[in-house]
Amino acid sequence: MEQKVKEFFERVRNAKSVAIMGHKNPDGDSLCSVLALGELIEKNFGVRPVCTYDGNIPDNLDGVPLRTHIKYFERVDMTRPFDLAIVLDYGNPVHIGGPRPIVDNAGFVIEIDHHKNENTVGELCINDDTAAATGVIVYEMMKMANLQYDINIANLLALAILTDTGNFKFARNGRPIRIMADLVDYGVNIRGLIESMNNKPRKAVQLEAKTAANAEFFYHHRLALATICKKDYKHLDGRGELVLNLLGQIQGVDYIVLLKEQKLDQIGVSIRSRNKPINQIAEALGGGGHDRAAGAVIHGDTLENVRARVLELFKGA
Ligand SMILES: [Mn+2]
């Protein structure tokens, strides 16, 4: 790891142009890790990286520090290839949150990720699937290289960790908590950061509450299944974490599935588990993720069919 981090900063030092991106429809870890790394590079190496994304950034992340430093990919000048492309938190090449030409044409590609990923795109891979968030890896790299940072960077890394650990609920080792302890000593205010993300449009919150209220329960599989149809989908802000959280509070429910009809033949699936790993179910649907939080996007199938496939998979599980 140390050797790879050394090479990483060597590559950054020698690059005149750098692009950084996370996954499509960035969540707090993806967005904040990109912004934090971009700022660290600018502060310590004097190059201002181009930070870019694809899809939508949820409204509840509107208030993150340096939010304006990330550009929608269509606004990135790609006429000249970047010396360095850094891909963060992406999990699977189809999820890369930027234009593929940036990655394909870059002089060198580096990835930093905490997803289990067999299909890597980086020529240098700083991957650690025991890290609770990509923000954990970025923090550790920053410390290893003794980089200068500031309160914006500290807050961004804290937001990355809070998002992916569900405010520490999903921490499987002490690293994110030890890092947060250091960040709090540095001046991070955890309550303030969590409050800053409680900032969704009313329709979005009400849609999530309604979706949870209308969920189906399959108690013999300890499964709750909720659905958002296409006409409601546009009001969803983010992935539907609130639906998953609400259903996960119900007695006798260990597995929560949220189906989202993003288009008539494109269904997003989010799966959470309070118990056994469920990433193999996401993989069977062509997706992936973590042991207890995984998902997939299924193209060319209807909501009804995907619902049936999910139920079949849980029967076999
Ligand atoms: Mn992540």
CA distance 111 to 117: 11
List per-residue pLDDT tens for the chain, 317 residues long: 889 999 999 999 999 999 999 999 999 999 999 999 999 999 999 999 999 999 999 989 999 999 999 999 999 998 999 999 999 999 888 889 888 899 999 999 999 999 988 889 999 999 999 999 999 999 999 999 999 999 999 999 999 999 999 999 889 899 999 999 999 999 999 999 999 999 889 999 999 999 999 999 999 999 999 999 999 999 998 889 999 999 999 999 999 999 999 999 999 999 999 988 998 999 999 998 888 889 999 999 999 999 999 999 999 77
CA of 89 to the centre of ligand 1 (A): 5
Closest CA to 156 of 174, 172, 133, 177: 133
Spell out the residues 6+ positions from residue 272 whose beta carbon is closer than 8 angstroms to its own.
244, 248, 255, 256, 257, 278, 292, 293
CA of 27 to the centre of ligand 1 (A): 8
CA distance 91 to 85: 16
CA distance 196 to 215: 28
CA of 143 to the centre of ligand 1 (A): 19
CA of 235 to the centre of ligand 1 (A): 23
CA of 288 to the centre of ligand 1 (A): 12
On the question of a common fold for 2-197 and 202-316, the answer reads: no
Burial tier of 301 (Cβ tally within 10 Å: 0-12, 13-18, 19+): middle
CA of 165 to the centre of ligand 1 (A): 9
In the chain, where are the structural domains located?
2-197, 202-316
The CATH-assigned architecture of domain 2-197 is Alpha-Beta Complex (3.90)
What's the pLDDT at 76?
A: 92
| 117 φ/ψ angles, rounded to the nearest 5 degrees | -150, 115
Spell out the residues 6+ positions from residue 209 whose beta carbon is closer than 8 angstroms to its own.
242, 246
Q: Please give the C-alpha separations between residue 206 and each of 118, 203, 250, in angstroms, as whole numbers.
A: 38, 5, 19
Q: Please give the C-alpha separations between residue 137 and each of 69, 97, 221, 311, in angstroms, as whole numbers.
A: 21, 19, 36, 36
Q: Please give the C-alpha separations between residue 46 and each of 13, 152, 189, in angstroms, as whole numbers.
A: 9, 17, 28
Helix, strand, coil percent content, the chain, rounded in steps of 5: 45, 20, 35
CA of 184 to the centre of ligand 1 (A): 21
CA of 194 to the centre of ligand 1 (A): 17
Q: Which three-class secondary structure state does DSSP give residue 121?
A: coil
Q: Does domain 202-316 have CATH number 3.90.45.10?
A: no
- DSSP assignment of 152-181 equals HHHHHHHHHHHHHTTTTTT--SSHHHHHHH
